[in-house]
Structure 1
Amino acid sequence: MSEDVGRAFLYEEIHDKIPEYKRPSSSSESDKDEPSIPAGRKKRLFGRKETVHTILGGGKSADIILWRNKHTSGGILASVTVIWLLFEWIGYHLLTFICHSLMLFLAALFLWSISASFLDRNPPKFLEVILSEELFLTVAQAVRFQINDAYATFRFVASGKDLKTFLMAIGGLWIFSIISNWFSFLTLFYIVFTIVCTLPALYEKYEDNVDAAVEKAMVHIKKQYAVLDEKVLQKIPRGSLSDKKHC
């Protein structure tokens, strides 16, 4: 009896020192430590996580594009529209427009400077504008980066490593060449500028509906591309570079 009592006492002592393992009663308790996805979070266009304002830079340019200040955005769009009407409808030329604008500006400043002494008013103050070397270096570096990036993209598309990207590039250039035959360069620039000034603001306003519609369209496009890839693209013979070297 004494041995049984000793064993029971020893078992209770060891059992108290060992932490008890508790299995979760349900799956909901086991998922408490794992991060959960909010139920109201929706899938955004191209998998983006930032807002439209952040993607556009988040500065004054983004405020203008998204019409945060309606007077500034409307004034810029109206000015570009007037310039487009002058060149396309009236037949104004760019060099003539620049010369006439400078003539009017210089004449206004000249008359203001002369009349200021007779009318006892302050003459116009001319700001000293000196462009720094750092500004030109920054612009040159940005242009150099864009040129190198464009050349790297061109080299990747032309290397034959990705047939899908090649077909998309050819299709995009072909569509752009057709559109360029319909409009002049200035009209095409005005159309692109109008799209940039209107579509982002409209998308920000109706982004939930647009994201849902684009997601459905992308699913349909992927299905059609899968059929095209299976029936046509995979049947195109491709020679590897390693085979050519051995030959």
Structure 2
Amino acid sequence: MPEGITTERLLNNIMETLTENVSKQKSVSFFEEEKSTSVNAQFNRLFGRQKPIHHLLGGGKSADVLLWRNKKISAGVLAGATAIWVLFEWLHYCFLSLLCFSLVIGMTTQFVWANGSGLLNSKRSPSKVPRLVLSDELFVNIAKTIGAEVKQALGFLQDVACEGNIKQFLVVVLSLCAAAMIGSYCNFLTVLYIGFVAAHTLPVLYEKYEDEVDSFVYNILGQLQHHYRKLDTGMLSKIPRGKFRGMKRE
């Protein structure tokens, strides 16, 4: 053994190298686990989704409103819808009476403005009342927007019915049945308001708690698949099917 190297120092060097190798292996395994969890979190999204919520909602101003990118605009839209629902549902206003009252208030305001300014300032000429001018393009754009949304919705339903994806088909059918059941207890305006509130709350909550919701839904789907397999092995697999095939061939 060379001079200056004792057995104690040699043992200390061996222990130091072992601890360094163990720490390196732990750090590598930690980073690999973190990378795998991030990859799983990236691809284990709800219904196989790989795009962000903002892109799925259209990626425009409507998506910004639904995801509360501008809180003042989103709160104003939701407050306006709530005010309309309260007027028609709680205060029992009908559309014709509300429209007539709004026109009366607008005409009264313009009448007072046009005649009162000349009486208060007799030396000055009466001020001109600004007129509300609606262009034809506004109504054309509204009609195009509504028509495009209806066309897209009908196209989506036809795609779901024709593509043969049984999971997506069942989800859409169950959603329509749930909407029909809700509509049997509420009127059309309340159903629209519930859908409007859900559209302004559920996407932003899902975007905030995305991982928790995805894991919860996948756990429920796993339990449903487990119960279906039990039902299939216990009851459905015992149902005879050969007789029906023979009858069809005959």
The answer, yes or no, to whether TM exceeds 0.5 is yes
Greater RCO, 1 or 2 (C-alpha within 8 Å, sep 6+): 1
Alpha carbons of structure 1 residues 107 and 65: separation in structure 2 relative to 1, 3 Å: same
What do the CA deviations read for 1:62-102 (whole angstroms, capped 9, x no partner)?
Answer: 11111111111111111111221122222111222222223
User: Counterparts of 2:187 and 2:129 in 1: how far apart (Å)?
Assistant: 43
- 5+ unaligned residues in a row in structure 2: which ranges? 1-34
- Residue 223 of structure 1 corresponds to 226
* % identity of equivalent residues: 34
Q: Specify the alignment match of 2:181 in structure 1.
A: 178
Q: Tell me the CA shift for residue 123 of structure 1.
A: 2.8
Q: Which residue in 1 is equivalent to 2:98?
A: 97
* Amino acid in structure 2 at the alignment position of 1:124: P
Distance in structure 2 (CA, Å) of the matches to 1:59 and 1:92: 34
TM-score, normalised by the number of residues in structure 2: 0.64
Q: State the secondary structure of the residue aligned to 1:127.
A: coil
State how far apart, in whole Å, the 1-side matches of 2:167 and 2:51 are. 27
Distance 2:110 2:60 in 1: 33
TM-score (norm 1): 0.64
Quote the offset at 1:39 in angstroms. 4.9
Q: 2:154 aligns with which of 137, 141, 147?
A: 147
CA distance 1:146–1:106, shift in 2 (3 Å) = same
Aligned equivalents of 1:117, 1:146: Cα separation in 2: 54
| Conserved 8 A contact 1:116-1:123 | no
Q: Deviation of residue 194 (structure 1)?
A: 1.0
**Residues 166 and 58 (structure 1), Cα distance of their counterparts in 2 relative to 1, 3 Å cut:** closer
Q: 1:37-80, CA deviations, whole angstroms, 9 ceiling, x for partnerless residues? A: 76524122222222111111111111111111111111111111
Supply the distance in 1 between the matched residues of 2:107 and 2:150 (Cα, whole angstroms): 33
The count of corresponding residues between Structure 1 and Structure 2 is: 205
Match of residue 132, structure 2, among 105, 117, 126: 126
Change (3 A) 1:122 1:227: farther
Determine the C-alpha separation between the residues in 1 that align with 2:178 and 2:189. Answer: 18
Distance 1:133 1:84, change over 3 A: closer
Cα shift readout 1:144-163 (whole Å, capped 9, x = no counterpart) = 45435535645x49xxx787
Q: Where does residue 74 of structure 1 map in the other structure?
A: 75
Q: In 2, are the aligned partners of 1:113 and 1:124 still within 8 Å (CA)?
A: no
**More off after superposition, 92-101 vs 170-179:** 170-179
Q: In 1, distance between residues paired with 2:132 and 2:47?
A: 49
Alpha-carbon contact 2:114-2:127 (below 8 Å) kept? no
Of stretches 188-197 and 223-232 in structure 1, the one that deviates more from structure 2 is 223-232
User: Where does residue 32 of structure 2 map in the other structure?
Assistant: none
Please tell me the residue identity of whatever aligns with 2:199: V
CA distance in structure 2 between the partners assigned to 1:72 and 1:132 by the alignment:
21
CA offsets per residue over residues 132-171 of structure 1, 9 Å max, x none? Answer: 89745675466445435535645x49xxx78767765664
Q: CA RMSD in A?
A: 3.7
2:154 alignment partner AA: I
| Partner deviation per Cα, 1:112-145 (whole Å, 9 max, x = no partner) | 3445666654531433411389745675466445
**Is structure 2 residue 204 aligned with structure 1 residue 191?**
no
Written as runs of structure 1 = structure 2, the 5 A alignment for 1:1-247 is: 39-41=37-39, 42=41, 43-115=44-116, 121-131=127-137, 135=141, 136=143, 140=147, 143-144=150-151, 146-151=153-158, 153-154=160-161, 156=162, 171-232=174-235, 235=239, 247=250
- Separation in structure 2 between the aligned mates of residue 167 and residue 232 of structure 1, nearest angstrom: 22
